[in-house]
Structure 1
Amino acid sequence: MGGKGALVALPFVIVTGWATWHLLELTVWRDGTDPGLGVVWLVSFLLLWWLPMCWLERPATVTESERPGIDGLRVTVQIPVYNEDPQALRACLESVLGQSRRVQRVRVVDDGSVDGATGAPLLYEAERALLLREAGRLGIEATWDRTPNRGKRWAQMHVLHEDDADVFVTLDSDSVLDEHAVAEGLKPFADPRVKSVAGLVVPLNVKTNLLTRLTAVLYIPFTRGLRSAQSVLGSVLINSGTLAFYRAEVVRKHAGVYERESFRGVPMQMNDDSMLTMYARLEGRTVHQPSAVCFTLVPDRPRHYFRQQLRWMRGTTVRHLWWLRHMPVRSLAFWMPVVEYAHLVLALLVPVTVLFTPHLREQTGSLAWYTLILGCAMNYLVSLRLFAVRRTDETLGHQVLMFVLSPAAGLWRLIVLRPLYLYAMATCWRIGDWGTRTAVEVRVAPA
């Protein structure tokens, strides 16, 4: 959004400052007493370090002298498939074959998909024929393998140790690439220090219902906020498995180990994206390329949504424990769990302090009012990133409506996702297979 984005953000910065001043006045300066909430508010704002920094992110570009090196990269796209909607899979394959920068190889690995109604193998014969026919016509090498069901990681790594590509692209089978996603995703590799590149993930079925619209707004703080800020530091910690690019030698180096990660003796098939990202981060820079856009199907029913959230949250908890145990204290990876847990503690500390502090109990109404204003302003500041992606299937009016309603996403995060996260932390050992579905759960809406 550039200068226009900064100009639009100005009113929300002013409102945030005003609400913060009054909160400090109520909790620190009034009557000369300070129950310690002044420090709490200060720490709370410091924990939002990523909010201003994410605006510093710029897409990587390539100079004319660097162009031959990028054009010469051999690229393999690996697509694990498990109980996918055939129409979604077809759209995924067509988007890969239709890239402005052609890839050299496409590997589809069906991890033992089955028909949910009959239990018979789901073979995707039409989609397989499409891939092999069109790839042959374009001069792209393509393979389609069906393996016994072992999990996403095994499907991702299938025969990659034998692959001679320079860059591996991992792509979810329910996702559709923008026409220039591969071309844009390769640009950061002009810097030899870069070992992985995260694509920008945007919900595809955003207009299906209220849940998918809510999910689109909830994606923003991570996909266009925290990850963007980490990218400025060259230290993205979790790529989206939906679309990510890796130096091939990084992936090949860990073949055989990556698939066998376990937690408390249970195979760890979730959080594949964070593990691959950490392999890359240990060897160099990991960045985000906001111009490499991928559209993905998100859950459109509550049951699927909450199962997915639990899976992600449990996996994140395990990865946090991994970072705290194995990463250097000086690294961003070590401090990110500390920040996350500090947020949780502060969220409990503020209401407890107000409850047991007499002069603050008298100001409960004012505190609630200014906290509400501050929360809305912060949500609006984050949600300005909605306008960073312009879509042909979404009007400006729809984007504005989602922006206006974005505080509802903050409320959802506070009263629904925060308690769910606490439950996921307490049950983080309940990890299992890679899928959230025993049958096709999200389908592409008819055109």
Structure 2
Amino acid sequence: MQAVYSLPTDVSLASHGLGGFDELPSVDVIVPSFNEDPRTLSECLASIAGQEYGGRLQVYLVDDGSENREALRLVHEAFARDPRFNILLLPQNVGKRKAQIAAIRRSAGDMVLNVDSDTILASDVIRKLVPKMQDAAVGAAMGQLTARNRNDSWLTRLIDMEYWLACNEERAAQARFGAVMCCCGPCVMYRR
């Protein structure tokens, strides 16, 4: 299992007014999930539910035909009680991208935040990503990623180092040339 945290950045809505928006934009969080450990998924969804964001927030959990759906049932039921959460149960596995598309088609928010089902967000991630999107030239913004189990082995330390390099060096170098090729999937926000 590879789990990551998305850590806070140094930007706040207070320092940017409302981040160039007349009002806070609505944010739809898309969480595709396939055969996720129930505890890991619950931690992910709880971190989304606990976001410190004053705008409208909707969450779309897409169970992509998980074989352990019965084990996940209690997690689905617990979060379905929150009116912000929408649980989509796909009848069979169609893959991460198609699961994301299924949720995006149902969503209507101004911003879409894709979050992997093993990602735990710091409580201010959405509040700090939204101002990054104030510039119309910015098509996506991502959180700083840190492997939660980074100290477990040499492999997890390498994974954590790769996240750091991807987030801080590669994307910064690409930005200097005006063409960031991609944002890391565990926590990335797009404008609709």
TM-score range, shorter chain: 0.7 to 0.9
Q: Equivalent residue for 2:47?
A: 95
Change over 3 Å in CA distance of 1:95–1:210 after alignment to 2: same
* One-letter amino acid of the structure 1 residue matched with residue 53 of structure 2: R
Q: Distance in 2 between matches of 1:162 and 1:210?
A: 41
1:172 to 109, 116, 133: 116
Which structure shows the higher helix fraction? 1
2:2 is aligned with 1:76: no
Q: Equivalent residue for 1:328?
A: none
1:85 to 12, 19, 37: 37
Deviations 1:93-148 (A, max 9, x none): 00000011155200000000114xxxxx4451221122123x23xxxx21111102
Q: Equivalent residue for 2:74?
A: 126
1:217 to 161, 169, 185: 161
* One-letter amino acid of the structure 1 residue matched with residue 85 of structure 2: A
1:186 to 130, 152, 164: 130
Note the C-alpha offset of 1:68.
7.0
1:105 to 49, 55, 58: 58
Q: How many residue pairs are counted as aligned between the two chains?
A: 181
Identical pairs, percent: 27
**Equivalent residue runs for 1:208-247 within 5 Å:** 208-247=152-191
- Give the SS at the match of 1:230: helix
* One-letter amino acid of the structure 1 residue matched with residue 161 of structure 2: V
Note the C-alpha offset of 1:209.
2.2
Q: Distance in 1 between matches of 2:171 and 2:16?
A: 28
Structure number with larger C-alpha Rg: 1
Q: Distance in 1 between matches of 2:22 and 2:123?
A: 17
- Give the SS at the match of 1:194: coil
**Equivalent residue runs for 1:418-437 within 5 Å:** none
Work out whether residues 200 and 223 of structure 1, in 8 Å CA contact, stay in contact via their aligned partners in 2: yes
Deviations 1:18-77 (A, max 9, x none): xxxxxxxxxxxxxxxxxxxxxxxxxxxxxxxxxxxxxxxx96665555447275201000
Note the C-alpha offset of 1:212.
1.1
Q: Distance in 1 between matches of 2:133 and 2:163?
A: 26
Q: Distance in 1 between matches of 2:173 and 2:143?
A: 14
Work out whether residues 113 and 123 of structure 1, in 8 Å CA contact, stay in contact via their aligned partners in 2: no
> TM-score normalised to the size of structure 2?
0.83
Work out whether residues 76 and 165 of structure 1, in 8 Å CA contact, stay in contact via their aligned partners in 2: yes
1:158 to 77, 90, 102: 102
Q: Equivalent residue for 2:88?
A: 145
Work out whether residues 76 and 169 of structure 1, in 8 Å CA contact, stay in contact via their aligned partners in 2: yes
Q: Distance in 2 between matches of 1:235 and 1:201?
A: 21
Work out whether residues 198 and 245 of structure 1, in 8 Å CA contact, stay in contact via their aligned partners in 2: yes
Q: Distance in 2 between matches of 1:159 and 1:198?
A: 19
> TM-score normalised to the size of structure 1?
0.38
Work out whether residues 16 and 131 of structure 2, in 8 Å CA contact, stay in contact via their aligned partners in 1: no
CA-atom RMSD, angstroms? Answer: 2.3
Gaps of 5+ in 2: 1-8
* One-letter amino acid of the structure 1 residue matched with residue 155 of structure 2: L
